[in-house]
Structure 1
Amino acid sequence: MIMSELNNQSLGKVGVLFGGRSAERDVSVMSGNGVLAALKSKGVDAHPFDPAERSIAELAAEKFDRVFIALHGRYGEDGSLQGVLEQLNIPYTGSGVMASAIAMDKIFTKRIWQTHSLSTPEYAVLNAQSNLQAVAATLGLPFILKPPHEGSTIGITKVTAINEVQQAYELAAQFDEVVLAEQFVEGRELTVAVLGRGEQAYALPVIEIVAPDGNYDYQNKYFTDDTKYLCPAPLDANLTAQIQKMAVDAYRAVDCEGWARIDVLLRQSDQQPFLLEINTSPGMTGHSLVPMAARAVGLSYEDLCLEILKTARLKIKSDQHQ
């Protein structure tokens, strides 16, 4: 135990970045506190840092040897903070600037997946001038409206009737300049955590999410115990392998690294999986799914945090940090 702690101390002074200014701040605080406690329990010299309360100058002054990003949403998961850390020469966990920015934008993510022939639901991009009724006719009812740069089901609506379209659009437009309309896929809700980088990336067990009345909303994600999580998901071996490969391919297509979680819908009618989105800084709360998948293969929450921390690096090569 002493040797392990000494080894972990060699990781240097570690900042755990959480909180932030996004709509997912509260979830990030829960994630960050969990990560902080886990790293400290492993003998890591870990310190909290909330970018909403402290400046970039203070971040530089802390002289962190590396940071664990436990921020969710804008300003922490979208590439902006990753760019700051590159400028400050501080190694960080997760994906780089470009991959983070792409993955944060569900529209651009879908476009990249399509170029790699990876299945994702049909969609349309809407703005204030769009003919909402025409989109409903094209995608069919029901369909989904959501802001493309938010997570944790914020601003999302399942539109079941034409007279609901305007209100659903206005809700999503509160969070984004454009709105993503997406074909609704009737089926099972799955998620797959992926760890690693490049050819070494690998998928953890598939999790099936069974929410009350099929409504996996913000409340059912984080604050109730009514949602059931089946891990590993009750799927046959071939289908499990197909979905895991699809998740790893989706991860690599966006050039993610470190860790991420890919959400998948398995169509009920023909067992066809569809990629929904990719989260490059997934939740690490008591209800979060990446730790659940890790536990299924014998990796504790504390060890998972430590393994992710060890992958921290600068992604943009320069004369300073090649």
Structure 2
Amino acid sequence: MQNTVLTPIKVAIFFGGPSREREISFAGGRTVYDHLDRKKFEPVPIFVDSLGNFILLHKQYLYQGTIREFYPSAITANFGGVPLYIESLPTTESHALHIEKIGKKIDPPDFSKYFDMAFLCLHGPYGEDGTIQGLLRWYHIPYTGSDILPAALTINKIFQQKLLQQSGFVLPRSLILGQKEWLDIDDKEKLFDQIMTALGLPFVVKSSKQGSSIGVTIVEDATLHSFIHAVHKAFFMEAISYDQWQSYTRTDIKNWLISLIDVREGIGFPLRVADQIFYTPYTLLNYLELYFQKKQPPILLMSAQAEASIIIEAFIQGREFSCMVLEAETGNPIALPPTEMVKGKIHFDYRAKYLPGIVRKQTPMILSTSLLKRIRKQAIDLFQLLDCQVYARIDGFITHDNEIILNDPNTTAGMHPASFLFHQAAEIGLYPTQLLTFIIQRSLEVRKDEGYLMADTLLQRIEKQK
């Protein structure tokens, strides 16, 4: 009797996406693709573009440095030599032609023709907020990580604060500022004074639904300009005045527009000015040059993905850490040895997180055994409070008084090679390929319990492959 050869399970790696974290998602997707166990799994790269298209990506594009280098083509879509994202192309241009160059567009009803399950490497809105999880659930496709509710809870920092406070977790003093409230305030200096009285200096201004420290500023000096700049950065808006525009050289204008294009640091396109929407830096430049031909009131540029509300909170003096939690089985989460970000006086922003050499990661962080246990216990408590599944990353601080403050749970951890997930898993003897297999298998067990019939079948196939 001949032995039946089991074909590997087709695992779609979802990466890219519409959020401001699309580039780190792209890098993480490539890491998962490289490290999946080929004896058990066949990786299927699904690039999600910033318009929400699902593209079965030709493999050679996985190894481009950034998304903008290959999609759309940097040769045909650029501003002064700087590549644009697909959403910055003129609306009259066909996106289908750009998609055909890099792969094949597939629609959700056809997902099951191309893969058996999804490994989610998407970050931020549409990736970590329950949206993609809900879409996959609709089409009965098993996926990795937490279900819809934990994802939705963890991306909303404002709701998180309320939930954590009611559950007894320590939180810094904070205020919520709505976009409409901010735009309607005439006396912004008065608001600034009120915030300094309530929170002191320094304080932190941050977006409420972003990750990777995007939209975060530490306000350290008592100048109104610094405060307004921080608030605008968190909302993803920017004011430009007549005097400012007139002071710019042509090089200044070009560099300013280039910074707007970068969704990690700038507003990004499309953006709004009053009731008009601008998709390209060219059209915005033409508008501003015409508008500022004579003395005019300042203009407020606002991202089409501007935040509805932001958080302003007291600065936490302490050591910053990140702690991964893995769920060995339902009701049995295990916290890994936490990592400290040894950064000196550097703000742990997007660049510090992902550019090598800026910040040193110490795993495990150097603390007494009792304090490490407390951090891990609180990370598990938060994991369970939010009903997370499979794995999560819990960020926080330990103050000089040994008070633990948790401030940012994430249901989808970064998968780039230097990520906290791989750092900490190595401490317990799990190499990347082993860890990814664990995440897939545990996710299928969770989906099976949720009623996914395909998950049970895939688990049986994994068992037979051992």
| TM > 0.5 fold call | yes
- Partners of 2:322 and 2:26 in 1: how far apart? 22
Q: Kindly name which structure, 1 or 2, has the bigger radius of gyration based on alpha carbons.
A: 2
1:278 alignment partner in structure 2: 409
Matching of residue 248 in structure 1 with residue 392 in structure 2: no
Moved more, 221-230 or 208-217: 208-217
- TM-superposed CA distance for 1:267, in Å, is 0.7
Asked if 1 retains the 8 angstrom alpha-carbon contact of 2:140 and 2:452, the reply is no
1:97-116, aligned counterparts within 5 Å? 97-116=148-167
1:25 alignment partner in structure 2: 22
Unaligned 5+ residue runs, structure 2? 56-104, 183-190, 237-305, 457-466
- Partners of 1:13 and 1:126 in 2: how far apart? 45
- TM-superposed CA distance for 1:113, in Å, is 1.3
Amino acid at match of 2:199: L
Moved more, 121-130 or 136-145: 121-130
- Partners of 2:132 and 2:448 in 1: how far apart? 13
- Partners of 1:265 and 1:294 in 2: how far apart? 21
Asked if 1 retains the 8 angstrom alpha-carbon contact of 2:14 and 2:29, the reply is yes
2:206 alignment partner in structure 1: 146
Residue number among 13, 18, 22 corresponding to 1:16 in the alignment? 13
- TM-superposed CA distance for 1:214, in Å, is 3.1
Structure 1 residues 155, 218: closer, same or farther in 2, change over 3 A? same
2:229 alignment partner in structure 1: 167
Q: Between the two proteins, what is the percent identity of the paired residues?
A: 31
Residue number among 124, 132, 142 corresponding to 2:175 in the alignment? 124
- TM-superposed CA distance for 1:40, in Å, is 4.6
- TM-superposed CA distance for 1:182, in Å, is 1.5
2:332 alignment partner in structure 1: 200
- TM-superposed CA distance for 1:211, in Å, is 1.9
The SS at the match of 2:16 is coil
Q: Which has the higher contact order (CA 8 A, sep 6+)?
A: 1
Amino acid at match of 1:167: H
Asked if 2 retains the 8 angstrom alpha-carbon contact of 1:206 and 1:232, the reply is yes
Moved more, 181-190 or 117-126: 117-126
1:220 alignment partner in structure 2: 352
2:429 alignment partner in structure 1: 298
- Partners of 1:318 and 1:312 in 2: how far apart? 13
The SS at the match of 1:60 is helix
- Partners of 1:74 and 1:315 in 2: how far apart? 26
Residue number among 63, 74, 77 corresponding to 2:125 in the alignment? 74
1:36-115, aligned counterparts within 5 Å? 36-52=33-49, 53-54=53-54, 58-63=107-112, 64-115=115-166
2:275 alignment partner in structure 1: none
Amino acid at match of 2:204: I
Matching of residue 157 in structure 1 with residue 288 in structure 2: no
- Partners of 1:89 and 1:37 in 2: how far apart? 26
Amino acid at match of 2:111: E
Asked if 1 retains the 8 angstrom alpha-carbon contact of 2:37 and 2:433, the reply is no
- Partners of 1:184 and 1:173 in 2: how far apart? 19
Q: For residues 221-260 of structure 1, what are the alpha-carbon distances to aligned partners after superposition, in whole Å with 9 as ceiling and x for unaligned?
A: 1122231111111110111000000001011111111111
Amino acid at match of 1:194: V
The SS at the match of 1:194 is strand
Moved more, 87-96 or 205-214: 205-214
Amino acid at match of 1:148: S
- TM-superposed CA distance for 1:57, in Å, is 5.5
- TM-superposed CA distance for 1:51, in Å, is 2.3
- TM-superposed CA distance for 1:46, in Å, is 1.5
Asked if 2 retains the 8 angstrom alpha-carbon contact of 1:133 and 1:165, the reply is no
- Partners of 1:319 and 1:227 in 2: how far apart? 42
Amino acid at match of 2:230: A
Moved more, 46-55 or 19-28: 46-55
Matching of residue 237 in structure 1 with residue 372 in structure 2: no
The SS at the match of 2:54 is coil
- Partners of 1:182 and 1:42 in 2: how far apart? 49
- Partners of 1:87 and 1:316 in 2: how far apart? 16
Structure 1 residues 80, 266: closer, same or farther in 2, change over 3 A? same
- Partners of 1:18 and 1:186 in 2: how far apart? 35
- Partners of 1:66 and 1:220 in 2: how far apart? 33
- Partners of 1:198 and 1:188 in 2: how far apart? 31
- TM-superposed CA distance for 1:74, in Å, is 1.1
- Partners of 2:214 and 2:397 in 1: how far apart? 18
- TM-superposed CA distance for 1:305, in Å, is 1.0
Asked if 2 retains the 8 angstrom alpha-carbon contact of 1:121 and 1:275, the reply is no
Amino acid at match of 1:54: F
Unaligned 5+ residue runs, structure 1? 1-5
- Partners of 1:315 and 1:108 in 2: how far apart? 29
The SS at the match of 1:312 is helix
Asked if 2 retains the 8 angstrom alpha-carbon contact of 1:41 and 1:302, the reply is no
Residue number among 376, 394, 415 corresponding to 1:262 in the alignment? 394
State the TM-score, normalizing by the size of structure 1. 0.91
- TM-superposed CA distance for 1:21, in Å, is 0.9
1:3 alignment partner in structure 2: none
List, as ranges, runs of 4+ consecutive aligned residues in structure 1 with deviation greater than 6 Å: 318-322
